[in-house]
Amino acid sequence: MAADSPRSTPLPPPPTPLKFAPPKGFHAELRARAAEHFARAGRPPRGGFRMYLDALVVAGWAAGSYLALVFLAGAWWQVTLAALSLACAVAAIGFKIQHDGGHGAFSERRWVNRLTAMALDAIGGSSYVWRFKHNILHHSYTNLAGVDDDIDLGVLGRLSPSHRHLWFHRFQHLYIWPLYTTVALKWQLVDDFVRVARGRIGPQRFPRPRGWDLVGLIGGKTFALSLALLVPALFHPLWIVLVVYLATMMTIGFLLAVVFQLAHSVREAEHPELPPDVDRIESEWAVHQVQTTVDFARANPVLTWLLGGLNFQVVHHLFPRVSHVHYPALARIVEEVSARHGVRYVAHRSFLGAVASHFLFLREMGRGPSIAS
Ligand SMILES: [Zn+2]
């Protein structure tokens, strides 16, 4: 059961013949309770004033930071502050605007979802490639090695008991943090191009972009790199532009990587191991999503706002087409229904608690194949 896509391009065939166990009522009850909640609250599951207001605030934050960085900042500390602010704002565009848009969850209007999904192109990533990598592979087959590309760090890291163990992984809980700073740079400059050239995301095939999809990809990369390098270079020495670009992108990469990892690559999340000859996953799809995803810092409204609700990823995985402003309310329903069905729902109380769990998970995975989650 793949997450819905707001796009009209035909979806590729299922990436693998993997099937989930037949539903036993867990998902049906969740959907019924969520529908009840929306009917009682009198609010639509998508869109609404708060989504638009949040998007305006974040876009203004990013634009203000960019203008301050390029045209106002003079002293080194002003440059540092403006670049840090820009990095956080760009990450927030991803968390609060693009992610909802890409899932068709920003608005009831298709064109608004399309436009907000393209916020990713404007900040340097391809919304086309993301649709396959995130919407389909990650959301359908969460934490399944070889299919979910989000847990594939190549030889550099072992994020699943199914991944090959190499001797240096025993230090991954130490060396992985600086590597996270390369995520956005690599994504912007290398990964999208390599995936399109190969027609694959990891081992999974996907259709190469054509027509307007290709124009969007090339236009987005050109626009983002022009804003990041060309425009500043008209006003400042090139070496300063490059240093600030690298530092800003490294901060963005670190923020994105850490937030992604805290939902799935923690000790409490399951990483099902599937023998090569087995094509059926033990759990039904909705149960699999709860088992492989962990929430954190649910009671922290500032973090919830900044992350666009991505500290409530269990709800997001169960209801990918619902706007993030509803996650806190739906999380209570998910917790209740999970308890009734004997499905283990886990939430870390704090952000640091989740970070600690990610650290310990990396250390356990780095020790070798015998340590499964
Ligand atoms: Zn998502």
pLDDT digits (tens, 9 = 90+) for 243-269: 999 999 999 999 999 999 999 999 999
For residue 154, pLDDT over 90 is answered with: no
pLDDT tens, position by position, 32-60: 999 999 999 888 899 888 999 999 999 99
Query: Cα of 113 to ligand 1 centre, how many Å?
Result: 14
Query: Cα of 95 to ligand 1 centre, how many Å?
Result: 9
Query: Cα of 40 to ligand 1 centre, how many Å?
Result: 26
Query: Cα of 318 to ligand 1 centre, how many Å?
Result: 10
Residue ranges of domains in the chain: 19-367
Secondary structure class of 232 (helix, strand, coil): helix
Lowest mean pLDDT among 34-38, 51-55, 362-366, 368-372: 368-372
End-to-end CA distance of the chain: 25
Query: Cα of 28 to ligand 1 centre, how many Å?
Result: 21
Got the DSSP string for 113-155? HHHHHTHHHHTTS-HHHHIIIIIIIIHHSTT-TTT-GGG--GG
Query: Cα of 131 to ligand 1 centre, how many Å?
Result: 10
Confidence band (pLDDT; 50, 70, 90) for 13? Answer: very low
Query: Cα of 73 to ligand 1 centre, how many Å?
Result: 35
